[in-house]
């Protein structure tokens, strides 16, 4: 007699997907028994699931990506790739680490071993811009704006790197925001919280502000960050004015338009005074939003020093991040 797991696999091979109830009826066993088998198959990555309760469906996983050549990658390279590489497939699956890198190489029709070495070299190039795990963005800001109101500005990683596309943090930010996925937001917080705590302690921050969103969403990333970070600091009251037509910064290409957008739509509703304020934004394209918000804070003498922080930022010049 065939094992229950094998029978589930055979059944799923005959159709695109099936729910647990359908499998229970086919096998003539309880749903609890079916779920025990499903959990084993999911753990072994033989099947995968799509959807959320109560509508969850199971399918046989696509043929596993053959990690041809990955055994030639040294353990040190595997460790670096394992901690840095993440890609979301067109069908919404996560592929990460060496397996994800092999998947990406296969999609790009690239040799895994050679490309892995090139990936590590590219990471090293970008890591030169980091100190204490932070990218100092002041050079860029000073060469972008005639007047700079931020005393310092950092981002936690680049949004993307040449040839290899979005970084792990860039992937998490994009899909957490676009899919309004609280689990991804939680994972994002876990990634960034130690660095934010380090920054707050280093500069003796005594208040924090979160740049308010423009686009209305059921789950707002910045609100979730504020809630999940649980920083033991007062939160300054920043408001995004509702306009007849909401115009996100990402849709504006000209720098002067971005400055006008930030200046005319963000309002301070706070009278408290602080020595050092940390302003947090999700992505730094031009830096207009952070700089204009800092201007409003300083014009009202609400802070002596303002530290800007973006989760990710563009690498060079005025390079607009158009996705997040």
Same structural domain, 101 and 248? no
Q: 84 lies in which domain range? A: 70-127
Same structural domain, 30 and 89? no
Q: Phi/psi class of residue 84: alpha, beta or left (left: φ > 0; alpha: ψ in -120 to 50)?
A: alpha
Same structural domain, 216 and 168? yes
Stated length of the chain: 324
Q: Which residue has the tokens 């779920």?
A: 35
DSSP label at residue 262: H
φ and ψ at residue 211, rounded to 5 degrees: -60, 120
As a whole number of angstroms, the longest Cα–Cα distance in the chain is 78
What's this model's pTM, rounded to 2 decimal places? 0.79
CA atoms within 13 A on the CB side of 197: 10
Alpha-carbon distance 224 to 255, whole Å? 29
DSSP label at residue 249: G
Q: Which residue has the tokens 């972008």?
A: 144
Same structural domain, 205 and 258? yes
One digit per residue, pLDDT tens: the chain, 324 residues?
578 988 898 888 887 789 999 999 999 999 999 999 999 998 887 888 888 888 899 888 765 544 444 555 677 888 899 899 999 988 788 888 888 888 888 889 888 888 999 999 999 989 988 998 899 999 889 988 999 999 999 999 999 999 999 999 999 999 999 889 899 999 999 999 999 999 999 999 999 999 998 888 888 999 999 999 999 999 999 998 888 888 888 888 888 988 888 888 898 888 899 999 999 999 998 899 999 999 999 999 999 999 999 999 988 653 444 455
For residue 228, being part of any structural domain is answered with yes
**How confident is the model at residue 323, as a pLDDT?**
54
Q: Which residue has the tokens 């408001």?
A: 239
Same structural domain, 42 and 140? no
Q: Which residue has the tokens 């934010």?
A: 196
For residue 26, being part of any structural domain is answered with yes
Alpha-carbon distance 188 to 182, whole Å? 10
Same structural domain, 169 and 211? yes
Euclidean distance between the first and final Cα of the chain, in Å?
53
For residue 322, being part of any structural domain is answered with no
**How confident is the model at residue 49, as a pLDDT?**
85
Burial class (CB in 10 A: 0-12, 13-18, 19+), 106: middle
CATH number, domain of 139, equals: 3.40.50
Alpha-carbon distance 80 to 119, whole Å? 10
**How confident is the model at residue 269, as a pLDDT?**
86
Question: How many helical (H) and strand (E) elements, i.e. helices and strands, does the chain have?
Answer: 12, 14
**How confident is the model at residue 78, as a pLDDT?**
84
Domains: count for the chain: 3
169-207 burial: b if 16+ Cβ within 10 Å, else e: bbbbbbbbbeeebeebbeebbebbeebbeebbeebebeb
Q: Could you tell me which residues are beta bridge partners of residue 245?
A: none
Same structural domain, 186 and 257? yes
Q: Which residue has the tokens 């609890």?
A: 32
């Amino acid at each position: 007699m065939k094992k229950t797991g094998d029978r589930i696999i055979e059944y799923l091979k005959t159709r695109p997907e099936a729910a647990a109830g359908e499998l229970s009826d086919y096998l003539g066993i309880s749903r609890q028994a079916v779920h025990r088998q499903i959990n084993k198959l999911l753990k072994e990555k033989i099947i995968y699931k799509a959807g959320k309760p109560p509508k969850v469906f199971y399918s046989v996983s696509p043929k596993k990506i053959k990690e041809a050549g990955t055994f030639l990658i040294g353990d040190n390279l595997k460790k670096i790739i394992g901690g840095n590489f993440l890609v979301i497939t067109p069908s919404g699956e996560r592929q990460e680490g060496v397996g994800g890198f092999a998947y990406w190489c296969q999609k790009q029709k690239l040799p895994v071993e050679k490309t892995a070495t090139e990936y590590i070299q590219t990471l090293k190039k970008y890591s030169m811009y980091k100190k204490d795990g932070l990218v100092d963005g002041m050079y860029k800001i000073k060469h972008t704006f005639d007047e700079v109101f931020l005393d310092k500005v950092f981002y936690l990683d680049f949004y993307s790197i040449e040839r290899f596309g979005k970084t792990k943090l860039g992937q998490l930010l994009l899909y957490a925001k676009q899919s309004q996925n609280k689990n991804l937001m939680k994972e994002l917080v876990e990634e960034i919280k130690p660095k934010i705590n380090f920054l707050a302690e280093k500069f003796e921050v005594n208040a924090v502000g979160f740049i308010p969103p423009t686009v209305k969403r059921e789950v707002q990333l910045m609100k979730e960050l504020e809630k999940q970070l649980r920083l033991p600091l007062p939160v300054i009251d920043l408001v995004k004015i509702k306009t007849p037509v909401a115009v996100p910064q990402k849709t504006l290409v000209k720098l002067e338009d971005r400055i006008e957008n930030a200046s005319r739509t963000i309002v301070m509703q706070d009278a408290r005074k602080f020595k050092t304020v940390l302003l947090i934004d999700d992505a730094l394209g031009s830096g207009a939003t952070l700089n204009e918000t800092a201007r409003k804070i300083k014009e009202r003498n609400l802070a002596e020093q303002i530290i800007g922080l973006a989760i990710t930022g563009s690498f060079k010049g005025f390079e607009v991040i158009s996705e997040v």
